A and B are shown apart, each in its own frame.
Chain A
């Protein structure tokens, strides 16, 4: 009797897991398969899932279009530069906040938290007016500054946690051996927090790469990134569903892979340390 109950429970578990997989994968499979369909097969009525000749034509068309290529390059450039820039700015700050007592360090942390929690729509208007006044609309500069605005709070918060986890004796030993504070950070501590640094970089890339509103308002034709490009082509009257499916896959695939690599650190970063593991 007990075994029968266990079997029923296992069958229910398998059923529930399959349901969850179906719910998650249905949209993903549809866009992936559509990106492999020959021209016109996207419009078939009723829709076909598997019964077609797979082709890479949509990807070929995507990579043959200079506008699309420049969107990929813009996305890569803006993401890589702003993430590196944010790590360089945020890591020393995170170290100071983790190691030294300041009179107002709780206020500093709240300030960092606030900068992360403020909705982008609130900031995008003044940023637009400021960027317009400075004449830097549609430049890489303004979009990299924005990437920094998104990433720096994240770097400070996450790296502060990683530094706080390291034993202080390590630094003391290195300093007794004649290492100064800067060398301790660079030679002793950074190698130890390298996995955390890598995870932080991945999560920041996710934020910057997927960002839409800032690029829509502050960018322009010469700095267009993949999300803005997808939006432009998708809201047109005649959508090329095959090529746009390929564009969608190209936009999300690298980040899904990256994100899964950093899965272990996701919770810590995304809840700003709110969940103790």
Chain B
């Protein structure tokens, strides 16, 4: 099994190493200090720091906000495109485009749209009199920067939910609807009592996968705010990156990594529980 052997080397070894470095004090910029075993000190330091909890809170704010909106909007768009209506096939394809884009480019596009002097969105906001969206500029406004990053994420990843829900809708049997129609159910009742319960497993899968990928967010923040203003848009992955590749504190950076991994593991276990790993 060459594939498993490969993952054993390039995934399992780094993973064990990632856990190992969290027990050491190791600064790459100070080789003279060496690598010292410190036991659980990194965990105690990181977990007693207020900034860590603020970052965890900010990350959850982003993840819950983005995934929540994506699920609702994605389901609505999927229901719209699932209607028997001319052109929906082409529209479904067009709608997918943002999802294929490199997140780095998505960040660049939104930075351009929101540029304070020549960004078209900024002009749109001022002509609509929405001054709170233009001064200070959104990416420099501590209160609006996370909503702005959520908006970028919603733009890029709602298509994923659309895709998954559309597949789920196509697999639903029409007999329930025929029966409901005979019983005189309204559209809204059919959605609420038939479609939604039947879609529940599909929506759960979409929610878990989106949560796992939203936890990783890094690229778009790197091009737009770099965690700023101040630390207002610093999420866990950016915090770990900064500790690791700006302060070169391998132990602390690794510890933040393990916090992210723990969150990811919780969601992965949940995923395995709902989907099941069956051997065929």
Contacts and interface: CB of A to CB of B under 8 A. Distances in A.
Given A20-B91, A271-B164, A275-B202, A120 B216 contact: yes
Interface stretch (B38-46, B99-107, B138-146, B175-183): B99-107
A119 interface: yes
B253 A125 contact: yes
A186 interface: no
Nearest to A258: B100
A212 B104 contact: yes
A235 to B, nearest CB: 7
B148 interface: no
Looking at chain B's contact residues, is the secondary structure mostly helix, strand, loop, or mixed? Answer: helix
Interface stretch (A55-63, A90-98, A176-184): A90-98
A111 B277 CA distance: 11
B227 to A, nearest CB: 12
Interface in B44-68: none
A152 B7 contact: yes
A267 B6 contact: no
- Size class of the A contact interface (CB-based, 8 Å): 35 or more
A119 B260 contact: yes
B77 A121 contact: no
A219 interface: no
B155 interface: yes
Contact of B171 (A16, A109, A228, A276): A276
Contacts of A267: 163-164, 167
A270 to B, nearest CB: 7
B150 interface: no
B87 interface: yes
Contacts of A226: 102
B280 interface: yes
Interface residues of B, number: 91
A47 B118 contact: yes
Contacts of A213: 218-219, 241
A49 B261 CA distance: 44
A13 B80 contact: yes
A26 B105 CA distance: 15
Contacts of B218: 120-121, 212-213
Looking at chain A's contact residues, is the secondary structure mostly helix, strand, loop, or mixed? Answer: helix
B167 A231 contact: no
Interface stretch (B10-18, B128-136, B190-198): B10-18
A164 B275 contact: no
Interface in A178-231: 206, 209-210, 212-213, 217, 226-228, 230-231
Contacts of A130: 13-14, 17
A25 interface: yes
Contacts of A49: 120
A101 interface: yes
B279 A248 contact: no
Contact of A153 (B7, B77, B117): B7
A269 to B, nearest CB: 11
Contacts of B267: 117
Residue among A126, A149, A209, A255 with the highest chain B CB neighbour number at 10 A? A126
Contacts of A4: none
A123 B11 contact: yes
A81 interface: no
A188 B134 CA distance: 62
A230 B220 CA distance: 12
B215 A119 contact: yes
A270 B100 contact: no
Given A121-B237, A260-B96, A270-B164, A109 B277 contact: yes
When A and B form their complex, which 6 residue pairs have the shortest distance between CB atoms, in order from nearest?
A: A93-B3, A126-B17, A259-B100, A274-B205, A210-B102, A126-B14
18 contacts: A10-B85, A20-B80, A20-B95, A46-B123, A109-B279, A110-B277, A112-B4, A119-B212, A119-B260, A121-B260, A123-B18, A148-B10, A149-B10, A160-B280, A210-B103, A256-B101, A260-B97, A271-B209
